């Protein structure tokens, strides 16, 4: 799943495979980071840590607005 925001804002690539949520955040101009977590809470904590490691002191000037995503573990048949 790719979530693109307004111009000049990061793009989010989110996937779930092998029991892990993985997110890649592209900041443009050859700058991106990838992190993962077993739960969404762990993923969010790891995103915060990855941004701090990637941007250092500038991390506090970065505000990410990660799109709200709803996951379903089951596919439902559409009944007519």
**8-state DSSP, 3:** E
Among residues 5, 40, 9, 8, the alpha carbon closest in space to that of 23 is found at 40
Could you give the percent of the chain with pLDDT greater than 70?
65
pLDDT tens track for 19-68? 999 999 888 777 889 999 999 889 989 988 988 888 887 766 677 766 66
* Token pair of 43 as six digits: 């993923």
Predicted TM-score (pTM) of the model is 0.66
């Amino acid at each position: 799943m790719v979530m693109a925001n307004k111009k000049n804002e990061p793009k989010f690539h989110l996937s779930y495979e092998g029991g892990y949520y993985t997110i890649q955040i592209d900041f443009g101009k050859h700058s991106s980071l990838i992190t993962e977590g077993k739960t969404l809470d762990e993923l969010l904590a790891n995103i915060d840590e990855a941004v701090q490691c990637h941007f250092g002191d500038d991390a506090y000037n970065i505000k990410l607005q990660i799109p709200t995503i709803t996951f379903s573990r089951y596919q439902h048949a559409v009944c007519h």
